[in-house]
Structure 1
Amino acid sequence: MTRNPERRTALVDAAIEVLAREGARGLTFRAVDAQAGVPAGTASNYFASRDDLFTQAGSRIHVRMTPAPAAVDEAMRPAPSRELVAELMRWLVRRMTEERTGYLALLELRLEATRRPALRAELDRAVRSALEENVRFHLDAGLPGDADTVLVLYLAMTGLLVEHFTLPGVLSGTALDDLVEKVVARIVPAE
């Protein structure tokens, strides 16, 4: 396999774009090469198989969707409260909306993981790790609620984002920020 980390990252990012636009069936080496603007055959020099490409896209997508530490520090300046949790969830929705391509690709990868054991293992690892980190972050920051609060918030926000991206007409009568506020008010205990 060819070793050029920058090109590999560019190819994986191109794969994420292809996944979001064309779905898992459209993810071919040829489509990745075209999206990345590289000569035909380049992706096949970097990835042993489509399974490898899917798995690396599964790893990379979480890197793309993770906020910069400085942005997290800035977001955490207010005192821990239910309102801060609501603001963090609104921030999450804004980030996912801005990274729409990545979120749609993640949905495609989740579906494809039901058929690809290596991809399922990678997504299980990455999502479980992110959830555990979110629980630690929430508790260490002194935000209201416990580990179960974070789990239920995760499940609720995931559902909200799936509806928003896949069937936006279902939620068309209510602003996303208002929905986030309702979710947080029902899940996060009052101080």
Structure 2
Amino acid sequence: MVRNEARRTALADAAIEVLARDGARGLTFRAVDTEAGVPAGTASNYFTSRDDLLHQAGLHIHVRLTPAPERIEELMAGPRTRELVFRLMHDLRARMLADRAGYLALLELRLEATRRPALRTALTETLRRNLAVNIGFHTDAGLPGGAETVLLLYFAMTGLLVEHLTTPDVLAGHEIDRLVDLIVASALPE
């Protein structure tokens, strides 16, 4: 059977929405079909198993959360300064909040990976590759700081986003943009 890539993408997007809303236990072929508005049985024609669906959703989340090349080009047009790192981290925050479902689905996959060794292996590989790409981008672009700076930014921004998207009242009284500034200033002191 010839597979329609646009439909596969729509099904992966639907799986992400289901993961974000209902959690990993709510992710079924039927739930994905319903979310995508396609006939029953469609998702099972595109994904060989529930594990495959989880894995493909995980891969697609990273596609959704990655900035468009035009956006990167726009951001990187200026000099490679500390201020550029501030802009990059604010852009990251904006992208993650704009795709709340994508980030929450990624958190669900992380939790599900603690129970599914095959998913853990696949997700670990994807996240490691992503981190290596981020470190490479930072250093190759000549941005201030090095690999350790990227690690600090990665873990601090991840923690901030988890709090903001899951229990935002923890941050009540704290402006998220100011917290991003504090993270970058701490990772890249003047």
Tell me whether the two structures share a fold, i.e. TM-score over 0.5. yes
Write the distance in 2 (CA, Å) between the matches of 1:67 and 1:91. Answer: 9
Q: Which runs of 5+ in 1 are unaligned?
A: none
- Corresponding residue number in structure 2 for 1:27: 27
Aligned length: 190
TM norm structure 2 = 0.96
Write the distance in 1 (CA, Å) between the matches of 2:138 and 2:121. Answer: 26
Write the distance in 1 (CA, Å) between the matches of 2:178 and 2:149. Answer: 19
Q: Which consecutive aligned stretches of 4+ in structure 1 deviate over 6 angstroms post-superposition?
A: none
Write the distance in 1 (CA, Å) between the matches of 2:52 and 2:27. Answer: 12
| Percent of pairs with identical residues | 66
SS at match of 1:38: coil
For residues 3-42 of structure 1, what are the structure 2 equivalents within 5 Å? 3-42=3-42
Deviation at 1:2, TM superposition (A): 6.1
Deviation at 1:3, TM superposition (A): 2.3
- Corresponding residue number in structure 2 for 1:96: 96
RMSD after superposition: 1.2
- Corresponding residue number in structure 1 for 2:157: 157
Write the distance in 1 (CA, Å) between the matches of 2:22 and 2:185. Answer: 37
Q: Which digits, 9 at most, give the CA deviation of each residue in 1:127-160, with x for residues without a partner?
A: 1111111111111111111101101110000000
Q: Which digits, 9 at most, give the CA deviation of each residue in 1:63-85, with x for residues without a partner?
A: 11101111001001221122211
Q: Which runs of 5+ in 2 are unaligned?
A: none
Q: Is the 8 A contact 1:144 1:189 kept in 2?
A: no
Letter in 2 for 1:14: A
SS at match of 1:130: helix
Deviation at 1:189, TM superposition (A): 3.7
Q: Which digits, 9 at most, give the CA deviation of each residue in 1:159-188, with x for residues without a partner?
A: 000000011011121111100101111111
